[in-house]
Structure 1
């Protein structure tokens, strides 16, 4: 039975109560307050719903993750990165990145990054939890991604690309930087061919929960100050 969350509590049901079909549906309802979102990621779930639906919270099993040291950069992408046609920054324009991620895609109808979702993650950014990666070409924003960083874990949310390989350059640059900062895992949520090409793989939900318990509260040396990183 699906659990409906109340607005006056931040408690989520145990992850093992998530449905098998659809895979990972854990709860519905509640709100998108910053405190609830932080608790959701700490618990091992994330919001994903379309306009007009109630807020839905998911914890799929298995979970798609990327261990930073397992990053695979193809020869063609490595060549693009060495050419230096793109410039990558962190936290330079979070609002523009999430707005671009929410824009309509040719392969999908609508967007799950609703106005309320954008507002919620903007608040998380202002509180120092959510971060953006921007990819620029001659001063124009052509790609990027955003997600949350807590402890030694990064929770990826969405990416966009308006130029060839732009989001790939941004993602690879981020992973390389997270590796240097001592991050141990990047949550990719759901499997895609795009993520698998970088070395992402599936782990059991329980294993993912173990990583949360072990690394969420550890210190990190991450420096997210707005600046150029490549």
Structure 2
């Protein structure tokens, strides 16, 4: 018989992450169901390493997996092809990274992208509304890839202090989401942020340098970064120097 899952009324606090279902349960990492999606609840959840993830027709489901997938920004794997793409992007005046310019468009594009092996999306309409409200409150951000004045890819994340939680990416052109991720890595490196939460293990993330850590280690890192000043959410092209050789001065 599976363990009993706590049901949350709107004002009930989330359980401690250590109460999440273990590896032998039907859904490892599942912590609770129900509650609400508002700014205070989302901030409280991320502060304790918990996030919502559920599909159409399901109640809100809260997760605190163990182990946790994270991307140490100094371990980001800049493969040769992506390095060439970034160099061309940086040198092209019609290409730019924008931050928080079109957040709702980004999260909506993430919700509608096709996912291998998945039917539908976990970014249901109420999630789009909740994270857009979180964005307006200053705690969710979009990193956007623009070419010729057109949004071609991007990602969105949650940030509390200097704890950065990656959520989802999309691309309308080849490597556009990877460019946005590289921009986020560059911003984090520049401001000495050590890691980006990736939540769950995928081969794609592992190929870019992400790895698993225990939930306890992850939560220690989150608590430390919550106390640090919030990042300045803007992108200066000089941040590319964190990944690419700096361009020589003009002759």
In 1, Cα distance between equivalents of 2:88 and 2:113: 30
Equivalent residue, structure 2, for 1:34: 39
Residue of structure 2 aligned with 1:6, choices 6, 9, 12:
9
Residue number in structure 1 paired with 2:75:
70
Distance 2:212 2:146 in 1: 31
Does the Cα contact within 8 Å between 1:94 and 1:146 map onto a contact in 2? yes
- Alignment partner of 1:100 is 2:100: no
Pairing partner for 1:178 from 178, 188, 192: 188
Once the two structures are TM-superposed, the CA of residue 228 in structure 1 deviates from its matched residue by: 6.7
Structure 1: distance between partners of 2:162 and 2:75 = 16
TM superposition shift of 1:87: 2.2
1:184 Cα shift? 2.0
Aligned length: 227
**Corresponding residue to 1:109 among 110, 119, 122:** 119
Please give the per-residue CA displacement for 1:145-183, whole angstroms capped at 9, x wherever unaligned.
Answer: 001111221100100011111100110111111111121
Task: Tell me if structure 2 keeps the 8 A contact 1:130–1:149.
Answer: yes
CA distance in 2, matches of 1:106, 1:206: 30
SS at match of 2:106: helix
Match runs of 1:51-62 below 5 Å = 51-62=56-67
Instruction: Determine the structure 2 residue equivalent to 1:140.
Output: 150
5+ residue gaps, structure 2: 241-251
1:17 aligns with 19
Q: Which runs of 4+ in 1 moved over 6 A?
A: none
Query: Partner residue of 2:131?
Result: 121
Larger Rg: 1 or 2? Answer: 2
Give the counterpart of 2:202 among 174, 180, 192.
192
Is the 8 Å Cα contact of residues 113 and 170 (structure 2) preserved in structure 1? no
Q: Matched residues in 2 for 1:55 and 1:187: separation?
A: 21
Aligned to 1:50: 55
Q: Which residue of the other structure, out of 225, 228, 246, is the alignment partner of 1:215?
A: 225
Cα offset, 1:35, TM superposition: 0.7
1:197 deviation in Å?
Answer: 1.6
How far did residue 104 of structure 1 move? 4.3
Distance 1:68 1:224 in 2: 17
